[in-house]
Amino acid sequence: MQLGALGRLPLPLARAVLAALRGWLGALCWSLAPLSLSLPLLLSLPGWRRVSAPRPSAAAGPRRQREQERDGAAPTPTSVNYHFTRQCNYKCGFCFHTAKTSFVLPLEEAKRGLAMLKAAGMEKINFSGGEPFLQDRGEFVGKLVQFCKQDLKLPSVSIVSNGSLIREQWFKKYGEYLDILAISCDSFDEEVNVLIGRGQGKKSHVENLHKLRQWCRDYAVAFKINSVINRFNVEEDMNEQIKALNPVRWKVFQCLLIEGENSGEDALREAEKFLISDDDFERFLDRHKNISCLVPESNQKMRDSYLILDEYMRFLNCTNGRKEPSKSILDVGVEAAIQFSGFDEKMFLKRGGKYVWSKADMKLDW
């Protein structure tokens, strides 16, 4: 395409093309230059801003790059989880993405990165945290949701939230652009929620869950529930409550340790007391085997089957039991950065990572 032709394209498409060109140039410079260079060519491009992200782990990078080269081409970022903030208003004891920084990208930089991901093949974006609705009272994530659906025309846009800060006004403004809202709920017993760290003082987490379920019906947003099974809820029978809420998916995770996040000397949480055995997890699944929307994820399925972007838009490699970051896609492009992601595409498909994720394709009784 000649550069002059960009002026005749619709603005969102032109932005996506420019983002793809920047990403390609970033990948080219990354492959040609020594790792110690700061990519001066890219920094001279109009509209380019470098993100001051901490340097990635030197030990993890070359090893993962060799593995990716051995396995073939870089994976396609079909489904991406963007944790744009680490800040949260809850203190869940097993949290594995904790408030180690308060950094959030400027809105336009986040949009530029999302356009680069779309150009690289992204079909689904999931916004998470931290708590996504903390930033600008939900306006930040709302604008990203609208951009991804309206401008990038992604088939699926979703959010994972604890639900405590969502207001009906948000649905009125942004609900049409959101395919799936996933609410974290680990127990239907408020005392257990307090033990876990999901207590809201005098507010009821469970009552709020039902209110959000109704808003999803009212504004045509698919409703999903995420539950982390741990020492304090592993004996709970949730059949009746899940059937009453009738989510499109009930994601059931086994409590997972990540060094530096919820385990180890430099961690902000100590999740060891929440751990359960594989047998305990299987017993919980067996107790709920008649719930058709249940999607179980053991530690083995979780660890390498997610493409995770942190607040600097760096892919996080969890293959060694801790989160080891790549360079930011804003610095080196998607293809170069994803080589360090540790992403297991086969496990992603095996765990059911690809499903009917656009509300336009769901047959739901709103």
Is 185 a residue of the active site? no
Active-site residue identified among 29, 88, 148, 216: 88
Tell me the pairing of strands 79-83 and 307-309.
Answer: parallel
Beta-strand runs (E) in 8-89: 79-83
CA distance 52 to 56: 12
Bridge partners (DSSP) listed for residue 181: 159, 223
CA distance 203 to 50: 42
CA distance 261 to 27: 30
Both structure tokens of 284: 């919980």
CB within 8 A of 328, min separation 6: which ones?
51, 53, 312, 313, 314, 337
Is 88 a residue of the active site? yes
* 139-146 vs 107-119: helix crossing angle, rounded to 10: 30
Is 95 a residue of the active site? yes
Beta-strand runs (E) in the chain: 79-83, 124-128, 156-161, 180-184, 222-229, 249-254, 294-297, 307-309, 314-317, 324-328
DSSP state for residue 333 in the 8-state scheme: -
Active-site residue identified among 29, 92, 255, 318: 92
* Cβ neighbours around 71 below 10 Å, total: 10
CA distance 40 to 267: 35
Tell me the pairing of strands 294-297 and 307-309.
Answer: unpaired
Exposure string for 94-109, b = 16+ CB within 10 A, e = fewer:
bbbbbbeeebbbebeb
CA distance 304 to 319: 6
Active-site residue identified among 29, 95, 255, 318: 95
Active site residues: 88, 92, 95
